[in-house]
Amino acid sequence: MSKNTQMSNRQPIHGDADPVRVFLAAGSEQKQKQKGGGGADSGESSQGGEKIAKKGETIKEDMDSLLDEIDSVLEENAEEFVKNYVQRGGE
C-alpha cells in the first residue's frame, strides 16, 4: 500500500493538469484565427485609407528600430566569421 502512496505523490506531474497536455488538448485554433494563420485579414481591408497610411508609417518605424537592433547584434567581423565557418558534413 505504501508503494502506491509513494507513487501517487509523483502523479501530478503527469496528471490531467499537465500543462503541455492541457495546451495540446485545447489546441490553438482560436489563436490561429486571430493571428491570421487561417487567412483572417478581412477586417483590415475595410479600414479607411488614412488609417492604412498611418499603419504603413508605423510599420516603417518598426522596421527602422528593428534594423537598428540588428546593427547592434550583427557580428562585426562578418567576413572573417563567414570565412571560418566551415563545418564537416553531418548526416
Q: Give the binding site for other proteins (CB under 8 A).
A: 3, 6-7, 10, 13-14, 18-21, 23-24, 27-29, 31-32, 35-39, 62-67, 69-70, 73-75, 78-79, 81-82, 84-91
Give dist(CA 14, CA 24) in Å, integer. Answer: 14
Cα–Cα distance between 39 and 33 in angstroms, integer?
7
Shortest distance, CB of residue 25 to other proteins, whole angstroms?
9
DSSP state of 36: T
* E strand intervals along the chain: none
Nearer of residues 50 and 77 to other proteins, judged by Cβ? 77
CB of 56 to other proteins, least distance (A): 14
